Amino acid sequence: MNAASTQRLPLRVPTPLVLLLAICCAVSVANVYYAQPLLDAISSDFHISHAAVGGVVTATQIGCALALLLVVPLGDLVNRKRLICVQLVFLVAALIVVGISASPVVLLIGMVGVGMAGTAMTQGLIAYSATLAHESERGRVVGATQSGVVVGLLMARSLAGVVTDIAGWRWVYFLSSVFATIMLVVLSRVLPLSHVQPVALTYRKLLRSMFTLLAEERVLQVRGMIGLLMFGAFSIFWSALVLPLSAPPFSMSHTQIGSFGLVGAIGALAAARAGHLADRGLGQWTTGIALICMLACWIPIGFMPHSIALLIVGIVLLDMGGQAIHVINQSMIFSTRPEAHGRLVGCYMLFYSAGSGLGAVLSTWVYAKAGWNGVCALGFAVSGMAMVFWALTLRLTHARRVVNGR
């Protein structure tokens, strides 16, 4: 068997490989979200006010943005497997820096590094899965991989809470560095080399081409803006939730607060199903239903001071809607330029990073000024903006088709 045939991949991506990619995405993305349920502990440790502690999450999102702009696109230029292994080495180092940080400055630097390496790993794996998959099953594969991201995102809060209650918040990052080391060993041995040839561009031209994609690809523009608003609403809720639940009358432990992340695990199922619907051409229809879920979720969430049961209902609606939109966005965007998956996911997730960072800062600031009702009003407004924007772009697309006689 010659070299060319050994690198030829089957039409259907093997399920064990998809599962491995999903697990690695879960482990990688968790690093970006560990800090959210720990903000009160970090605030107390470093004497940072509640109004300003959201900056810890923002520092992570700055790292995310840097990774998406400077690192993730490298997947189109160099061998993806080798790039992933190098990123894991940097992730281990950044996690250790956060764990041993003795000042807010070192903490923020470490958080930027965690955001960069964790995001580069996660999005690199998603782009890798899209490259492996045939167009007919891309939604399924991306949806399954994205399910790992959802599980990692939600389990991060639960794991962070348990570990913090047992050993302190720093051990969350020490333990994660062990996970990253194990992942490095496994992926370096079993991950197949990508069958896609790198593009013939210099690094400077590669980065410049990202701005070309942002300027020319309407699908990227539309789905990116929907993603920005969706992730903004997502971050508004999760960044602020720990503040009222850790205070009287609830006075919940980090383990109890983190357990709310488990409630949203149903979002992983929605994400996988959304991929199948996108493969069948029902992406727009599913987007509308998901946006309705995200808008409606703030009503039961608003009753959180009076009913934990209604809060749980709201979390399920928020995660179902948000993750379904995320999978559909990626499936639609990946279908535009198959040779540019790394740059496309980098461009798209820049919208995500902006939405998450702004949501975290606004959420903790609004909570300090207007309490939980203010946070819910902010989340409802951002979700409403996403619904209106989607409806307007859908109408504009329909009008263009009518004018073009299609």
Tell whether 138 is covered by a domain. Answer: yes
Main-chain phi, psi angles of 317, to 5 degrees: -65, -45
Amino acid at the residue 124: G
Whole-angstrom distance, CA of residue 88 vs CA of residue 94: 10
Number of folded domains that form the chain: 1
Whole-angstrom distance, CA of residue 73 vs CA of residue 207: 7
Tell whether 387 is covered by a domain. Answer: yes
Per-residue pLDDT of the chain (406 residues; tens, 9 = 90+): 344 433 444 457 778 888 898 999 999 999 988 887 788 888 888 888 777 777 888 888 889 889 988 898 888 888 888 889 999 999 999 999 999 998 888 999 999 999 999 999 998 898 888 777 776 677 778 778 877 887 887 778 788 888 988 999 999 999 999 999 999 999 988 887 666 566 777 888 888 888 899 998 999 999 999 999 999 999 999 889 988 998 888 888 877 877 787 777 766 666 667 777 777 788 898 999 999 999 999 999 999 999 999 999 999 899 889 888 988 898 888 888 877 878 888 889 888 878 988 898 899 899 999 999 999 999 999 999 999 999 999 877 655 554 555 5
Closest CA to 356 of 30, 114, 58, 66: 58
Domain extent, residue 376, equals 12-191+203-403
Tell whether 149 is covered by a domain. Answer: yes
Amino acid at the residue 215: A
Residue 336: CB atoms within 10 Å: 15
Whole-angstrom distance, CA of residue 398 vs CA of residue 387: 17
Contact 149, 122 (CB under 8 A): yes
The residue written with tokens 């470490």 in the block is: 110
Contact 90, 117 (CB under 8 A): yes
Tell whether 174 is covered by a domain. Answer: yes
pLDDT the model gives residue 300: 96
Whole-angstrom distance, CA of residue 391 vs CA of residue 406: 20
Local structure of 248: helix, strand or coil: coil
pLDDT the model gives residue 1: 39
Tell whether 293 is covered by a domain. Answer: yes
Q: Which residues, 6 or more positions from 286, have their beta carbon under 8 angstroms from its beta carbon?
A: 274, 277, 278, 324, 328
pLDDT the model gives residue 118: 93
pTM: 0.75
Summary count for the chain: helices (H), strands (E): 17, 0
Amino acid at the residue 122: T
Tell whether 147 is covered by a domain. Answer: yes
Burial degree of 12 (CB within 10 A; 0-12, 13-18, 19+): middle
Tell whether 4 is covered by a domain. Answer: no
Biggest CA pair distance of the chain: 68
For residues 22-33, b (16+ Cβ closer than 10 Å) or e, as one string? bbbbbbbbbbbb
pLDDT the model gives residue 75: 83
Radius of gyration of the chain (CA): 20
Tell whether 264 is covered by a domain. Answer: yes
Whole-angstrom distance, CA of residue 208 vs CA of residue 64: 19
Closest CA to 130 of 217, 9, 287, 42: 9
Q: Which CATH number do you get for residue 300?
A: 1.20.1250.20
